[in-house]
Amino acid sequence: MYKKSRQLSVFLENKPGELSRLAKTLGDHGVNILAMSIQDPAEHIQGLFRAREVTLRRIASTASYSSILKEASLLTLIRFVTTDPEQSSKLLKEAGYNVTKSEVILSVLEHRPGRLAAISDCLAKEGINIDYTYGSSLEDMDRALFVFHVSDIKAGLKALKAMKE
């Protein structure tokens, strides 16, 4: 199954209790989180800095990177999909969060070796880039949920729905 959904993104302060506060805001109103990814922005920026050293491509000065890295260490990026994205966005904004919404493809796929490769290959053949993905399944489950943020949602859905399982 493939369907379009809305993902919410929020920067949380990088300190104990922030994820709990966000999850409680949603849970107290009966909203369930279906999938979640949490990224340390500082780690991402350090990766960019290392890539710059390898490629010799200068994106910003060393001083700029240091300043950005210091600022980024105060935040955590959380991306998630809920049972009610519009209500979730409203609740979180009322609670003082800065919420960004983006379209993603939700994929419930058979939990077996090669499924992610087949999906990735299908999108690549259509020239659709996977910007990022996250998902998971328990080892004894027969299905997995993955979230795909791709360069073209409409074309991505069309390609995936036409894919031979």
Q: What amino acid occupies position 16? A: P
Q: What pLDDT score was predicted for residue 75?
A: 77
SS3 22: helix
Q: What percent of the chain has pLDDT over 70?
A: 79
Angle (CA) 153-82-10 rounded to 5° is 80
| Fold assignment, 2-39+78-162 | VC0802-like (3.30.2130)
Query: What per-residue confidence (pLDDT) applies to 138?
Result: 75
pTM for this entry: 0.80
